[in-house]
């Protein structure tokens, strides 16, 4: 049994699931998801509460029961005895860099971390592309909402490029802002210029959690643009993945939008500066896939 502790928003939960799925397949055991941290609403300073987000996908896992989590965490006599008998491992992420030893950790493992590196799960890409397919109830919105349906058609019929502007608590929360920061306007301008050199007649599709800010910035004036407003993060990610090329923010959300893009000739542009804290950027060497462009 592999248990993964889920934490953070949609993109983070996808990373955690992806590693858990890889280990479950390697060891031919069940994958369980621990929702304890997501369900905890105890007031804490500088904490943004998150909900369980993976249920809209066709994932292959179950929610872990309390007794299953207890096996790895609790220090009562019964749990200790069981841990000795079945050789359980409680693994906590030591850094953001890829740790190959994680893949050899066995079949009774509890994973606690973010695991933001495709090296953990790239060999099962086709499995994850299937697992992260939206359930029909979500896809139905694409056929019933004329505006979203038109955007999808535009994306498919143009040289479409998604551009993600991640703001939200990156701006509103002082601690989060100090840690993550936001991508600069020069980053977006350089990324757009790079795309324009490589791609004829690009059409930029703008995704954001702060549309008023994006509109006021007038970021892209020389090319065709469409501001995408779905009020649904899962549909946003789905539409990002349909774009032929991607400009991502320092965000696991748009990272996944680009990773799920199945265009074999895609250009993906990502920021070199992933964190506002410069000391953390040394740990992002494995975060961005080798074929993506960092500027």
Q: What is the pLDDT tens value at each position of the chain, 295 positions in all? A: 999 999 999 999 999 999 999 999 999 999 999 999 999 988 776 677 899 999 999 999 999 999 899 888 756 555 555 555 556 889 999 988 999 999 999 999 999 999 999 999 999 999 999 999 999 887 887 778 888 899 999 999 999 999 999 765 554 444 444 445 678 889 999 999 999 999 999 999 999 988 888 888 777 777 899 999 888 899 999 999 999 999 999 999 999 999 999 999 999 999 998 876 777 767 788 999 999 999 9
Total Cβ atoms within 10 A of residue 157: 9
Report the chain's C-alpha Rg in angstroms.
Answer: 20
Are 242 and 199 in contact by the 8 Å Cβ rule? The answer is: no
**Any domain includes 20:** yes
Are 170 and 79 part of one and the same domain? no
Last residue of a domain, one of 73, 94, 127: 127
Residue 118 sits in the same domain as residue 173: no
Pair (154, 286) in one structural domain: yes
Strand partners, 269: 247, 293
Domain count, the chain: 2
* Same domain membership, residue 118 and residue 22: yes
pLDDT value of position 79: 52
Q: Is residue 22 part of a domain?
A: yes
Residue at 228 is within a domain: yes
Domain boundary among 127, 156, 186: 127
The whole-number pLDDT of residue 7 equals 96
Helix ranges (H only) for the chain are 10-27, 36-39, 66-73, 77-86, 125-131, 136-144, 146-157, 169-172, 174-179, 185-198, 211-217, 233-242, 252-259
What's the domain range around 18? 2-127
Domain-located, residue 265 = yes
My answer on whether 190 and 283 are in the same domain is yes
User: Based on the domain organization, do 272 and 153 belong to the same domain?
Assistant: yes
CA gap 253, 16 in Å, rounded: 13
Question: Which residue, of 86, 101, 127, is where some domain finishes?
Answer: 127
Examine the domain organization and report whether 120 and 158 are in the same domain: no
Tell me: do 117 and 150 sit in the same domain. no
The candidate with the shortest Cα–Cα distance to 219, out of 177, 187, 197, 256, is 187
> Is the same domain home to 206 and 233?
yes
CATH of the domain at 262: 3.40.50.11350
The verdict on residue 135 lying in a domain is: no
Distance CA 113, CA 93 (A): 5
Same domain (yes/no): 166, 262: yes
For residue 161, being part of any structural domain is answered with yes
Instruction: Clarify whether residues 20 and 51 are in a common domain.
Output: yes
pLDDT of 295: 93
Decide if 137 is inside a domain.
Answer: no
Contact call for residues 202 and 245 (beta carbons, < 8 A)? yes
- What is the full DSSP assignment across 64-97? PPHHHHHHHH--SHHHHHHHHHHT-EEEE---SS
pLDDT recorded at residue 74: 58
Assess if residue 132 is contained within a domain. no
| pLDDT at 170 (0 to 100) | 52
CA distance 103 to 25: 11
Nearest 5°: CA angle at 118, between 112 and 119? 90
Same domain flag for 121 and 149: no
């Amino acid at each position: 049994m592999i248990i993964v502790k889920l934490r953070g928003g949609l993109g983070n939960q996808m990373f955690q699931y992806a590693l858990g799925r890889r280990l479950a397949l390697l060891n031919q055991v069940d994958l369980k998801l621990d929702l304890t941290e997501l369900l905890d609403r105890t007031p804490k300073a500088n904490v943004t509460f998150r909900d369980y987000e993976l249920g809209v996908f066709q994932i292959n896992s179950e929610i872990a029961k309390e007794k299953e989590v207890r096996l790895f965490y609790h220090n009562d006599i019964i749990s200790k005895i069981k841990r000795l008998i079945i050789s359980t491992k409680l693994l906590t992420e030591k850094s953001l860099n890829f740790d190959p030893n994680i893949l050899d950790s066995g079949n009774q493992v509890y994973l606690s971390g973010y695991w933001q590196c495709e090296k953990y799960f790239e060999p099962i890409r086709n499995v994850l592309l299937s697992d992260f397919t939206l359930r029909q109830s979500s896809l139905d919105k694409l056929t019933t909402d004329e505006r979203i349906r038109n955007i999808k058609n535009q994306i498919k019929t143009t040289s479409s490029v998604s551009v993600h502007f991640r703001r939200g608590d990156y701006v509103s929360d002082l601690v989060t802002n100090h840690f993550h920061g936001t991508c600069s306007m020069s980053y977006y301008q350089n990324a757009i210029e790079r795309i324009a050199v490589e791609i004829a007649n690009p059409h930029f599709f703008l995704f954001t959690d702060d549309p008023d800010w994006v509109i006021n910035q007038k970021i892209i004036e020389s090319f065709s643009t469409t501001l995408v407003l779905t009020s649904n993060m899962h549909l946003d990610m789905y539409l990002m993945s349909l774009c032929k090329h991607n400009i991502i923010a320092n965000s696991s959300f748009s990272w996944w939008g680009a990773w799920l893009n199945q265009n074999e000739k895609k250009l993906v542009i990502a920021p070199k500066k992933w964190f506002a804290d410069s000391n953390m950027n040394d740990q992002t060497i494995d975060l961005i896939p080798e074929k993506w462009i960092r500027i």
